[in-house]
Amino acid sequence: MRYLPRCASRAVFAVVLSLMVGACAYSIPEVDPADIPSIRQALSSDPLNTDLQVQLGMAQFKGEMYEAARTNLQAAVDSGNVSGPALLYLGMVQEEFEDWDQASDAYTRYLEVGRSEPLKAELRGRLQYLAQNVLQQRAANALATEDQLANAQPTPRSIAVFPFAFNSSRDDLEPLIYAISDMMVTDFAVSNALTVLERAQIQALLNEMALTEAGYAEPGTGARAGRMLQAEHVVQGVITTLGDDNIQIDADILNVPSSGSAGDLSESNSLENLFEIEKDLVFGTLAALNVQLTPAERQQIDDNRTENVLAFLAYGRGLLARDQGNYQAAQAAFQQAQQLDPNFDAAATQSTETSEITTAQGTSTADIAVTASTTGETGTGGGIAPPTSTTTGVTQTASSATLRGASEAVNPTPTAQTIDLGSTSQSDNQTQQQTNETRDDAVQESQGSEGATSAAQAQIRIVIRRPGGAQ
């Protein structure tokens, strides 16, 4: 049973009460599997208490009872409990079931309500890792339901860019097939007239289809993959080297519903003018699709370049390694691209995301739970012990350290008398002292018609005895 110090002055009472009410954005206390019986007993008396339901889910998660944990946590969230611990543990248990979409959704919602900034930073990086798994899962589902998608209507004005096939003996230039498609995706996205599919989403499907570079340019492949992606148009083609210093790119704009061509383009130039080729392809494709650009949009597309071909090649190697799940190699390649061109923003972004993915790969859900408990999201981490509603057998504590500091400003005696908050079995001595006082009992007040307790609604009267015994 928890006790709080008494208060002797209205001023100190106001300070203490404001501190307690301010703490009502409380975290749910830490629990472990040994607490499951007592939490169940409390829930039997207060079945509408979603905080208890969250605690039960947390304890079950720690006991690796994942199915039961998911049931209780999901029920609590569905009933309106969108506290940080509820969403966090729901995300973690969804991870255990490899339901990456649902885990990402729970973590994203946690970022809106969570109280632990270190944990938020960790989850932002983890979402990058989950995104890779989401894409793979969606690609597998698309392939498994390919027959159902055959007659599906494409997303209007949508476009996908496939990696270009590579026709050259210059293996050192092969990363261009990934880097150019990525740059084209970024350029197409400048216009609001198009819905542009992410390169990673496209690559996840192509990987699931087990395609090689040689198959990227085949019309049948583009139409098939485009239908599964529900894209209206697919840009695909071939990169060919001409001697040692020249390059040519032939591209086709495939209309997926008709499996016919909406236009084809061919551009060639010296390797050092590679970015001029890419921009000509982008502007030509937009013209073929009747997309009108503003002068500002045209300038933004034209400015999206690195000017350093070696940095661009390193960037392409990074994309390939990332697609293959080799995040360490990807990180090294992106860092090299940055070193070659410090102004290469796309390389900097990819480097940061890849670093976050690498960190997340080495972090378990148990590690996340530790971060939550040590940084204030659950339990008393971060120096704030949360107040909580109390129901049969389960007590959530208020910040005794904060209250003790306030009371000692009036009465520094370390043995100050206390009263029991919410107790139904106070001593005769305490009962006698409070005979003429009006007291709102937090437990009694919270057991109203709603059937659920709320620490934030509890009104608390705190009295601290003055030195010498007078109130």
CATH code (residue 228): 3.40.50.10610
pLDDT of 213: 57
pLDDT of 324: 87
- Tell me whether residue 425 is in a domain: yes
- Tell me whether residue 326 is in a domain: no
pLDDT of 398: 33
- Tell me whether residue 32 is in a domain: no
How many domains are contained in the chain?
2
pLDDT of 421: 33
- One domain, residues 156 and 271: yes
Write out pLDDT tens, residues 64-85: 999 999 999 999 999 999 999 9
Write out pLDDT tens, residues 41-61: 999 999 999 999 999 999 999
Distance CA 84, CA 118 (A): 13
Q: Which amino acid appears at position 116 of this protein?
A: S
Domain's final residue, options 256, 280, 305: 305
- One domain, residues 164 and 276: yes
- One domain, residues 396 and 264: no
pLDDT of 446: 35
pLDDT of 172: 93
- Tell me whether residue 55 is in a domain: no
- One domain, residues 183 and 281: yes
pLDDT of 115: 92
pLDDT of 259: 85
Smallest CA-to-CA distance from 266 within 288, 244, 245 is with 288
Range of the domain at 253: 152-305
Distance CA 348, CA 329 (A): 15
- One domain, residues 295 and 200: yes
pLDDT of 135: 87
- One domain, residues 164 and 300: yes
pLDDT of 146: 83
CA atoms within a 13 Å half-sphere pointing along the CA-CB vector of 152: 19
- One domain, residues 158 and 301: yes
CA pseudo-torsion sign 437, 440, 442, 448? positive
- One domain, residues 157 and 286: yes
Q: Tell me phi and psi for residue 242, to 5 degrees.
A: -120, 95
Domain's final residue, options 305, 325, 359: 305
- Tell me whether residue 61 is in a domain: no
Domain's final residue, options 260, 281, 305: 305
- Tell me whether residue 442 is in a domain: yes
- One domain, residues 174 and 278: yes
How would you write the pLDDT of the chain (471 residues) with one tens digit per residue? 333 333 333 333 333 333 333 333 456 889 999 999 999 999 999 999 999 999 999 999 999 999 999 999 999 999 999 999 999 999 999 999 999 999 999 999 999 999 999 999 999 989 989 998 898 888 888 888 888 877 788 999 999 999 998 999 999 999 999 999 999 999 999 999 999 999 999 988 888 887 665 556 566 678 888 889 999 999 999 999 998 789 999 999 999 998 889 999 999 999 999 999 999 999 999 999 999 999 999 999 999 999 899 999 999 999 999 988 899 999 999 999 999 999 999 999 999 999 999 999 899 999 999 999 999 899 753 333 333 433 333 333 333 333 333 333 333 333 333 333 333 344 444 434 443 333 333 333 333 333 333 333 434 444 444 444 444
